[in-house]
């Protein structure tokens, strides 16, 4: 038989072990939570970027501006559109000269132009005849290869005339950085070389767009504003409708016995 005093001591030891185990588990849990909270940003603070390449990007861009970088221009060589339907025209300049054009501009009839030397900042614009196409933005649009190897452009183009036409892509591969106390970026950019590339477009004319297309073609032939042709056409139709109404009224009065 174990004395009661020894049984009491044993119970106290078991209770002490249980308390110490509970304290250890609690400390471990609180320590893990604190570690997780230290790793996770609070909801009210901005998340710190996980990459540290900003300085590397800046050094890369400065090196490209100082030495130049070999690149290729990728553009859409052929397209097919419909009068009145907006479509996209894409172009890119990539430092990856080994990449095939169809990979740079997927799902397009892409072609690559001759190699050229670019700076970190470059510009492109898409132009066309105002009678043939409506382009959403015909100004110079700037892109950069600061943190990527490929600069891309997208334009929305709406054809006005049926037939075969041409869109012209201009690329300004070198836009110099503004020097302190020097000229503006724009004036420095105009001094750099400009390359041009043509996209051949075949435009179909749906039957419901033929009257509108006819007016645009007339304006193009006469070299006048398209709005003027539309206004004259509307006036002519109104006069013809009025004359038809007058003739119909006279015929009705002639046939009526009460006239």
Neighbouring residues of 248: CB distance < 8 A, sequence distance ≥ 6: none
Dihedral of the CA atoms 208, 211, 213, 215 (nearest 10)? -160
Looking at residue 246, its pLDDT comes to 74
Sheet containing 121-127: order of strands: 78-82, 195-204, 163-172, 121-127, 141-144
CA distance 3 to 192: 103
- Quick one: 183 and 76 in the same domain? yes
Q: Please give the pLDDT value at position 48.
A: 44
pLDDT tens by residue, 146-176 = 999 999 999 999 999 999 999 999 999 988 7
What CATH number should be reported for the domain holding residue 110? 2.60.40.10
Which neighbouring-strand residues pair with 128? none
Domain assignment present for residue 82? The answer is yes
Considering the domain architecture, whether residues 158 and 228 belong to the same structural domain is answered as no
Return the pLDDT at 119: 93
The DSSP 8-state label assigned to residue 150 in this structure reads E
Whether residues 168 and 111 fall in one domain? yes
- Pair (195, 214) in one structural domain: no
**In degrees to the nearest 10, what's the CA dihedral of 125, 161, 76, 67?**
-20
Q: Are residues 97 and 166 in the same domain?
A: yes
Residue finishing a domain among 185, 205, 225: 205
Q: Which domain holds residue 61?
A: 55-205
Residue among 180, 169, 66 at smallest CA distance from 118: 66
Same domain, 169 and 212: no
- Same domain, yes or no: 161 and 220: no
My answer on whether 135 and 244 are in the same domain is: no
Q: Is residue 5 one of the residues assigned to a domain?
A: no
**Pairing relationship of beta strands 87-94 and 116-118 according to DSSP bridges:** unpaired
What are the mean pLDDT values of the chain's consecutive 10-residue runs (259 residues total)?
53 55 53 46 45 80 92 96 95 95 94 91 95 94 94 97 95 76 57 87 88 72 56 61 75 66
């Amino acid at each position: 038989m174990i004395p009661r005093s020894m049984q009491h001591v044993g119970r106290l030891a078991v209770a002490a072990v249980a308390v110490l185990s509970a304290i250890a588990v609690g400390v471990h849990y609180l320590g893990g939570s604190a570690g997780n909270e230290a790793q996770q940003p609070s909801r009210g603070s901005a998340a710190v970027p996980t990459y540290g390449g900003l300085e590397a990007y800046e050094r890369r861009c400065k090196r490209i501006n100082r030495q130049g970088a070999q690149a290729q221009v990728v553009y859409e060589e052929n397209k097919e559109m419909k009068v009145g339907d907006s479509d996209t025209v894409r172009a890119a300049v990539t430092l990856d000269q080994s990449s095939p054009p169809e990979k740079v501009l997927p799902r397009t009839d892409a072609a690559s132009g001759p190699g050229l030397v670019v700076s970190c900042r470059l510009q492109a614009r898409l132009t066309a005849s105002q009678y043939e196409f409506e382009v959403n933005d015909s100004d110079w649009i700037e892109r950069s290869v600061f943190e990527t190897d490929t600069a891309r452009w997208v334009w929305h183009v709406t054809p006005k005339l049926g037939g075969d036409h041409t869109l012209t892509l201009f690329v300004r591969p070198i836009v110099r950085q503004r020097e302190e106390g020097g000229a503006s970026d724009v004036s420095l950019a105009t001094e750099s070389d400009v390359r041009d590339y043509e996209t051949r477009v075949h435009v179909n004319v749906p039957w419901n767009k033929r009257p509108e297309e006819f007016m645009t073609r007339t304006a193009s032939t006469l070299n006048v504003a398209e709005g003027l042709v539309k206004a004259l056409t509307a006036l002519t139709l109104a006069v013809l409708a009025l004359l038809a109404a007058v003739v119909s009224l006279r015929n009705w009065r002639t046939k009526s016995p009460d006239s």
